[in-house]
Amino acid sequence: MTIALDRTVKSMTRPAPLSNRSYSKSREVKLALASKSPVKEQGTFEALQDARLEARILCYDVQVGVSQPIGMAQLEEVCYTRLVQLKEISGKQNPDYWVAVESGKVNLSSLHGAMDVTIAMAISKKKGDFISIGHGGGFLIPNSVLVQLEEKGELGLCDVEGVPFDKKKGGMVDLISLGSLKRVEFVKMAVRAALVPLLTDVEYP
């Protein structure tokens, strides 16, 4: 059920911490990821590199029954459900961190149209039941894709001017931006942001 990456992020010298903030020391950890997507795996790997943590990533196929979250509330709910299920099925591996990443369509209140937004949720042994959340990038969804989305119900079934996108490679953002934006960067940003509260002794609500 699990896939452990062959690569291990090598620890680096951490810069001096900001005043009044205590950062955890670099060490090897096990991180359970609620996906076997190569893009989410790579983005999480790079986020851990930025965090200067030696990491072994364990990937799980977690199904929640929702192919395309619509709205921020459902996006958060689906991500949370993945996280809870991940913790339940990964117990034997005894991870230090659990991470779920989700993308969905979010309508804009001030403008016409909608965005595809990426978020991540994470929990850790150290902080117990505290659930952290981080946002990655977002991008406008073209009108032609919105029309298809209404009909097909999932971005994965849509195309841009007749060209389908490959979810395993770059996703819709790569296709729309002609390669100038990468889905892996959105995943990396979301995971890194979600990990920040878990890597410090600073208290959060």
User: What tens-digit pLDDT sequence spans the chain (205 residues)?
Assistant: 444 444 444 433 333 333 233 334 555 689 999 999 999 999 999 999 998 888 899 999 999 988 788 899 999 999 999 999 999 999 899 999 999 999 888 888 767 788 889 999 999 999 998 999 999 988 888 887 878 777 776 766 777 776 666 665 566 677 777 677 888 999 999 999 999 999 988 888 8
168: tokens are: 């395993």
Residue 48 CB neighbour total at 10 angstroms:
24
DSSP string, 149-189: HHHHS-GGG-EETTEE--TTTTHHHHHHTTTSS-HHHHHHH
**Residue pair 193/185 in contact by the 8 Å Cβ criterion:** no
Q: Is the pTM of this model over 0.85?
A: no
